[in-house]
């Protein structure tokens, strides 16, 4: 499974993605409030910052999984899905995202 497929899979299966986005947006808005008026970000830039945080999180998770997933050469995507299901990674990530706090 390549990174793009991984992100798509996670976005389809994680129920707490919206919670992450909401918390990250609140954090980015708070940071924006502390910026000088001339340096404040508009809504589009705030949204892009949240998207970037999401992709960074997904990249970190992907990199950790990449080292432990034993890819079946005939169907690497299936190997990833089996590992994710076997380790209850979706449930664990959902729980982590719900409990996540930005500082």
**Main-chain dihedrals φ then ψ at residue 51, nearest 5 degrees:** -60, -40
Mean pLDDT of 57-78: 87
Q: Look at residue 24 in the predicted model and tell me its pLDDT.
A: 96
Closest CA to 87 of 70, 73, 75, 72: 70
Structure confidence by residue, pLDDT tens digits, 85-96: 999 999 999 999
What is the average pLDDT across 52-81?
Answer: 89
The predicted-structure confidence for 14-23, as pLDDT tens digits, reads as follows: 999 999 999 9
- Output the pTM of the full model: 0.88
Contact 42, 32 (CB under 8 A): no
Q: What pLDDT is stored for residue 68 in this prediction?
A: 86
- What average pLDDT does this structure show over 37-51? 95
């Amino acid at each position: 499974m390549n990174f793009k497929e991984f992100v798509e899979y996670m976005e389809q299966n994680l129920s707490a993605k919206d919670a992450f986005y909401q918390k990250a947006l609140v954090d980015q808005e708070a940071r924006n409030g502390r910026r000088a008026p001339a340096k404040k970000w508009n809504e589009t830039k705030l949204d892009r910052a949240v998207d970037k945080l999401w992709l960074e999180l997904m990249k970190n998770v992907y990199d950790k999984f990449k080292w432990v997933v034993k890819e079946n050469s005939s169907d690497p995507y299936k190997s990833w899905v089996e590992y994710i299901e076997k380790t209850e990674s979706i449930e664990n990530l959902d729980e982590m995202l719900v409990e996540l706090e930005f500082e």
